[in-house]
Amino acid sequence: MQMKITSAEFIRSVTAPQALPKDGLPEIAFVGRSNVGKSSLLNLLMQRKLAHTSATPGKTRELNFFLINRKFYFVDLPGYGYAKTSKSLQEEWKELLEWYLKARTQLKLVLLLIDARHVTMENDRQMQEFLAFYGRHYALIRTKIDKLSKAQLAEARSQSEAFFSGYDFTADVSATKRIGQQELLNKLKPYLEI
């Protein structure tokens, strides 16, 4: 049975624990380096432009909650690794991510997005170690696969799958070419118990 998204709405931006939704619905979080294509992938999956995309990396500075099918949330987490943000702002983002990843029982899965052209970035591996430390299930999502030839994509797959460990599954997507959308949704379904 394929998973379909029939409704999606932006609910709120959260910068403090007390502002998190309290309805107990399951959550799937999206995390990755600034400019990896998180907002574009979210918009592709939701089939509408609700997540803000920007030419300037590092725009997401809070946790953005999108209610999907009135049954679960997609959560857009702040991007990391963008050098032009101040140290104090980077520290705030780290704290925000930590309290969310550490304590959120509704969080069923984290999608770690990596650029298919740069699959062995150290800050991505640090994020994977961070997720492992908090015992979080995560999946490895290679983005921007339309920029690679078939041979390059095969190489990116083998490199990334050797570089990372402990992931539940991997998927390949391209928001601009609309590739991988349904396959990814189907892989998310078991985590949502819907």
Q: How far apart are the first and last CA of the chain?
A: 11
Q: What is the pLDDT of residue 193?
A: 76
Q: What is the pLDDT of residues 72-116, one digit of tens each?
A: 999 999 887 755 556 776 677 778 788 898 889 999 999 999 999
Query: Token pair of 122, please?
Result: 């150290």
Q: Is residue 181 part of a domain?
A: yes
At residue 110, what is the residue type?
V
Beta-strand runs (E) in 22-160: 27-32, 63-68, 72-76, 107-115, 138-143
Residue 157 lies in a domain: yes
pLDDT band at 181 (very low <50, low <70, confident <90, very high): very high
Burial class (CB in 10 A: 0-12, 13-18, 19+), 128: buried
pTM, whole model, 2 decimals? Answer: 0.92
DSSP assignment string, 18-55: GGS--S---EEEEEEBTTSSHHHHHHHHHTS--SPP-S
**170 within some domain:** yes
Distance CA 72, CA 177 (A): 26
Q: Is residue 139 part of a domain?
A: yes
C-beta neighbour count of 114 within 10 angstroms = 27
* Residue range 11-31, pLDDT digits in tens: 999 988 889 999 999 999 999
Count: domains in the chain: 1
Q: Is residue 2 part of a domain?
A: no
Q: Quick one: 138 exposed, middle or buried, by C-beta within 10 A (0-12, 13-18, 19+)?
A: buried
C-alpha angle 185-161-101 in degrees, rounded to nearest 5: 60
pLDDT at 6 over 80: yes
- How much is the pLDDT for 55? 52
Residue 184 lies in a domain: yes
Does any domain span residue 1? no
Indicate if the pLDDT at residue 172 is higher than 60.
yes
Which CATH number is 138's domain given?
Answer: 3.40.50.300
Residue 136 lies in a domain: yes
Q: Reduce the DSSP state of residue 120 to 3 states and report it.
A: coil
What is the span of the domain harbouring residue 34? 8-14+23-192
